[in-house]
Amino acid sequence: MKWLLSMFALAGAAGASAQPTGREPYHLISDSVVPNHGPDGNSVFLDAPEGLILIDTGRHPEHRDRLLSFARARGRPVAAIVNTHWHLDHTTGNGDIRAAYPHAPVYASEAIERALTGFLARSRASTQRALDVGQVPEANRAEVARAFAAMDNAAALRATRPVTASGEMRIAGRRLRVNLARFAATEGDVWLYDPATRVAIVGDLVVAPVPFIDTTCAEGWRRALGEIAATPFTTLIPGHGAPMSRADFTAWRAAFDAFVDCGQSDRPRADCVTGWRRAAARFIPAGGEAMIDGLAGYYIDSRLRATPEERYRYCEDRAG
């Protein structure tokens, strides 16, 4: 079951995507939710002098097609890719997008290196075992094959312009604040802030409907949320789910803090789960409660209440 949760944990409320106008401050290709399948993260397009900046590339071919057809309809090339983090629901499309736009540099942290020999290698091994004993349903096999192919083409997941520190950068000719949060939701989360539009694009540092704690350092994640809070954004685009106002973010952050506090205490597990459901209610789609219970409980058991070795596995540089 663990392989299923780590590979296919699903999340997010799909939002309507607007027609390109050329004047919008960003264009969201919203994440997708298909029951019993892995999610696609949100993707965001920004206009830049040299073309389009594409933030995150999704997992499924359908998501990739939506990205490519937006660029085509917009009549502008993808001039740069930014990956907020290495999770495959945000990076699998890199290979196909780079094949279509070979000159687009990829901005990302270097955390993928450790993931390739650590989390992804373990996840692949457990998924292969499940395949070998016939536990992967037919309906998931194409998705698994695509994930394996993404790992085999690791060059497409790697940055050509590694983000190694926070600072202002010019991407495809557009000036953006590029932030690196180390040892947070992953070992290296990149998030963007555009001072001109006051939009923050934060990847899985903020996610609906439940924080994905698979490769997380809870303390570093809290620190990163503090840095986001200190930024004067008015709109925040999470890794999954609908764009948020500052009030939404503040509510989400409080729910996150309470969930992690509870998960790390010896309070009854069910209290932590119902606490999250209550505090994060506005981010949980109707009918999603049972799924939330499953995921939140899984993260409490497997991460927040794991051995110290496991809990701090993603808090510092070390093998695996």
Task: Tell me which of 47, 89, 143, 214 binds Zn ion, using CB under 5 A.
Answer: 89
DSSP code of 20? Answer: P
- Nearest CA to 220 among 135, 317, 143? 317
**Residue number closest to Zn ion, CB atom:** 41
Stretch of residues binding Zn ion (CB under 5 A), selected from 142-150, 178-186, 197-205, 290-298: 197-205
Please name the residue that has the structure tokens 């194409």. Answer: 142
DSSP at 50: T
Q: Does 211 bind Zn ion (CB under 5 A)?
A: no
Q: With the CA atoms of 77, 39, 212 and 234 taken in that order, what torsion angle do they form, in degrees rounded to the nearest 10?
A: 50
Query: Between residues 187 and 204, which has the closer beta carbon with respect to Zn ion?
Result: 204
Q: How far is the CB of 120 from Zn ion (least distance, A)?
A: 14
Phi, psi torsion values for 39, nearest 5 degrees: -80, 165
Does the protein bind Zn ion through residue 238 (CB under 5 A)? Answer: no
Determine the interface stretch with Zn ion among 73-81, 200-208, 258-266, 288-296 (rule: CB under 5 A): 200-208
> How many residues belong to the site for Zn ion (CB under 5 A)?
5
Binding letters toward Zn ion, positions 16-45, x by CB under 5 A: -------------------------x----
Site string for Zn ion, 39-78 (x = CB under 5 A): --x-------------------------------------
CB of 93 to Zn ion, least distance (A): 13
Tell me how far, at minimum, the Cβ of 39 lies from Zn ion, in Å: 6
> Does position 239 bind Zn ion by CB under 5 A?
yes
* Structural contact between residues 58 and 147, judged by C-beta atoms closer than 8 angstroms: no
Interatomic CA distance for residues 139 and 275, integer angstroms: 34
For the chain, first and last CA: distance in Å? Answer: 21
- Give CA angle at 136 (130, 139), nearest 5°: 165
Whole-angstrom Cα distance, residue 13 to residue 195? Answer: 27
Q: Which residues bind Zn ion (CB under 5 A)?
A: 41, 87, 89, 204, 239
